[in-house]
Amino acid sequence: MISFSEKITRRIRTLSRRFPFVTFEIMGTSRLGAPLYALRVGYGAINIGYNAAHHANEWITTLLLLRFVREYCTACEANSALLENFTFYAIPLVNPDGVELVASCDQLTDWKANACGVDLNANYPASWEAGRVNKITQGYDRPGPRGYPGNTPLCEPESSALAAYTQLHDFALTLSLHTQGEEIYHRYREFDPPGANEIAAAMARASRYPLVDVPDESSHGGYRDWFIEYFNRPGFTIECGLGENPLPPKDFTSIYKDVAPLLWVPFNVSFYDLIK
């Protein structure tokens, strides 16, 4: 039986064969040694980074991101300005070990963490200690299916690899796909990155997803939190779809229909005059 990670590897290789301007690399490996792939599209000066599947039972986000990459590449064939203006990086499967657990066992549908029981989206160094206190208060004081932020920030190879890759490529903007809730998160604490509000408003207009603030008890330690705090640039979390995770494959088409227009919004070159 082909694993979920193997299926994703095949899709990535197919994209790189189909489109000559697509390359991929392994930015690191997971706790159990699975490759962490990053796709690169184009050669423009504006670097944009999208990622998916920080959480194991949100694996449908991997498929959403890869569908968008394919759509984006098809658009690039018709409009070379996308290739010339942007370099688009897509990291479709941040948590391959956790996704494999969920995909292979019907009893683990509640599992969000990586193979070591660490919630990767609580493992970044953005007020991590405050986030840790929040998690302990909520009962997440040890490795488990969800919530545990780890022993130290970036102690997990998956979060460490993505943070290093983000710094290496100096993203002007990042977007993280999660499920579920049909919401857009764009603020973190008192930070107000240039251009973030304008881009967020455009995302809301392009979709039916509202802009929502994350409550403090659920905040801190996330990738978006860290990106905004570290770079003071726009970072977004998109909560795709509604229901109980993992969202069923039958919902994929309707979710993508809602999300795709929103994913196109950051590829408006005029926004980057604001970010400067």
Q: Which residues participate in catalysis according to the annotation?
A: 239
Burial level of 130, CB count in 10 A (0-12/13-18/19+)? Answer: middle
Answer for the pair 101, 115: CB distance below 8 angstroms, yes or no.
yes
Omega prior to 249 cis, within 30 of 0: no
Residue type, 87: T
Question: In which residue are the tokens 């943070």 written?
Answer: 163
Contacts of 15 (CB under 8 A, 6+ apart): 22, 24, 39, 66, 69, 70, 73
Determine the Cα–Cα distance for residues 142 and 135; give it in Å rounded to an integer.
10
Strand partners, 29: 35
Q: How far apart are CA 184 and CA 204, in angstroms?
A: 8
C-alpha to C-alpha distances, 151 to 129, 132, 196, nearest whole angstrom = 10, 9, 32
Q: Which amino acid is at 152?
A: T
